[in-house]
């Protein structure tokens, strides 16, 4: 019998707004209005300002380790805007501050999280987002479960999960993709391919030419887009969300972008990253690209830019003031939010602030048996 081809596949790449601010009018049709672009540009600028201030907060000892979103704002903005606030559910990684804020999470919650205050993870009622996920890849399983629940309840809602290129090398990613595909769960897998899994470049941690092609194995619609192009991200995201809401199952989007900052404030990318590569990507900055576009259309100028930057500084100052002005948590929280009914020994610890239970009952640590063994044998 002759050999025959049983399957062929391809991955499309989409760019609508290039790095010089030139728009493909045909592809941009029915995507974003000038008013929407202006609004998103302003929100991206505020998010960038928050990033810069958060960096200084960490360096001055006022906040813990922080991962900057710098350079990836268009990806978060486009996907966040395509999902329906108050209906769809966002399951983030840690570079989607803008999308979380667009869906109702106040920015000071993000700062509280990185300040080590658990109240930053207590999502307000009616805000449909998960807390920031630090473990790599675990959140994709959560998103798939949420989406499956939507399907079982026959609710026209969609779950969107964000993750980086490195997360697609995790087993959790493949389990989530397979389950979502088999169950046709309404979930959008949104990969921010920022080229680096901490200090490991994409081409070393995977042998596939694209990240998007990994979805082909699961029979899932997939596309690669210019992740610094707000229009392309929004168009692909909107199509994926609408497909999921209509019962068409999951989709995969690879947004090709770049991490302009270090992995976190605990990292120094100069040790492993070519400065020329960084310089090249700085020219593709999504915020700079949008400014060129808006200026070219005659709806933006230097005076408006200066006014926006001042407003962004004021907004971020208020965000920091709110985060740092919240009453400090009490030590009672450690006890009150761990057990439904507090055991007697922890009640004693809570009231005395002493870990005296070992002294009250040494046997619980095996000390009594150790003492018997020691005294029951003579030295030789």
Active site amino acids: 259, 263, 272
3-state SS class at 226: strand
Q: Read out DSSP for 164-192?
A: EGGGGGSHHHHHHHHHHHHHT--EEEEEE
Give the CB-side neighbour count of residue 82, counting CA atoms within 13 A.
31
Residue 90 vs residues 3, 59, 81, 93, 316: alpha-carbon distances, Å: 45, 30, 11, 10, 23
For residue 373, the SS3 value is helix
Beta strands in the chain (DSSP E): 13-14, 89-91, 159-164, 187-193, 196-197, 200-201, 222-226, 251-256
Comparing C-alpha atoms, which of 225, 243, 222 is closest to residue 147?
243
SS3 state of residue 129: strand
Structure tokens at 146: 């949420």
Rounded to whole angstroms, how far apart are CA atoms 260 and 279? Answer: 9
Pull the structure tokens for residue 266: 């605990």
The full length of the chain comes to 380
Say if strands 159-164 and 89-91 run parallel, antiparallel, or are unpaired: parallel
The answer to whether the beta carbons of residues 287 and 41 sit under 8 Å apart is yes
Q: Residues with Cβ < 8 Å from 327, sequence gap 6 or more? A: none
- Asked whether the beta carbons of 184 and 247 are under 8 A apart, the reply is yes
Q: How far apart are CA 62 and CA 255, in angstroms?
A: 33
Six token digits for residue 228: 């610094």
Please give the Cα distance from 160 to 271 (Å, whole number).
Answer: 34
């Amino acid at each position: 019998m002759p050999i025959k081809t049983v399957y062929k596949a391809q991955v499309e790449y989409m760019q609508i707004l290039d790095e010089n601010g030139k728009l493909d009018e045909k592809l941009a049709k029915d995507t974003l209005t000038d008013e929407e672009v202006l609004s998103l540009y302003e929100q991206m600028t505020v998010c960038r300002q928050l990033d810069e201030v958060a960096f200084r907060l960490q360096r001055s000892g006022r906040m813990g380790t922080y991962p900057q979103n710098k350079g990836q704002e268009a990806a978060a903005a486009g996907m966040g805007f395509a999902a329906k606030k108050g209906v769809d559910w966002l399951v983030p990684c840690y570079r989607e501050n803008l999308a979380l804020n667009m869906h109702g999470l106040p920015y000071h919650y993000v700062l509280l999280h990185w300040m080590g205050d658990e109240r930053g993870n207590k999502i307000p009622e009616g805000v449909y987002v998960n807390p920031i996920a630090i473990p790599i890849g675990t959140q994709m399983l959560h998103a798939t479960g949420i989406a499956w629940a939507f399907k079982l309840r026959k609710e026209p809602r969609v779950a969107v999960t964000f993750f980086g290129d490195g997360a697609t090398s995790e087993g959790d990613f493949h389990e989530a993709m397979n389950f979502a595909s088999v169950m046709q769960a309404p979930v959008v897998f949104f990969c921010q391919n920022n080229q680096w899994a901490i200090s490991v470049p994409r081409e070393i941690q995977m042998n596939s030419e694209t990240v998007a092609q990994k979805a082909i194995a699961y029979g899932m619609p997939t596309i690669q887009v210019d992740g610094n192009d707000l229009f392309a991200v929004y168009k692909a995201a909107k199509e994926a969300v609408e497909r999921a809401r209509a019962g068409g199952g999951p989709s995969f989007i690879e947004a090709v972008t770049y991490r302009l900052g270090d992995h976190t404030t605990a990292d120094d990318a100069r040790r492993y990253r070519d400065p020329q590569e960084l310089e090249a990507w700085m020219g593709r900055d999504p915020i700079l690209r949008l400014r060129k576009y808006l200026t070219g259309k005659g709806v933006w100028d230097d005076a408006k830019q200066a006014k926006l930057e001042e407003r962004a500084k004021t907004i971020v100052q208020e965000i920091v003031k709110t985060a740092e002005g919240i009453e400090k948590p009490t030590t009672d929280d450690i006890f009150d939010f761990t057990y439904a009914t507090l055991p007697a020994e922890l009640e004693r610890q809570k009231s005395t602030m002493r870990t005296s239970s070992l002294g009250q009952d040494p046997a619980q640590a095996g000390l009594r048996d150790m003492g018997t063994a020691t005294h029951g044998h003579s030295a030789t």
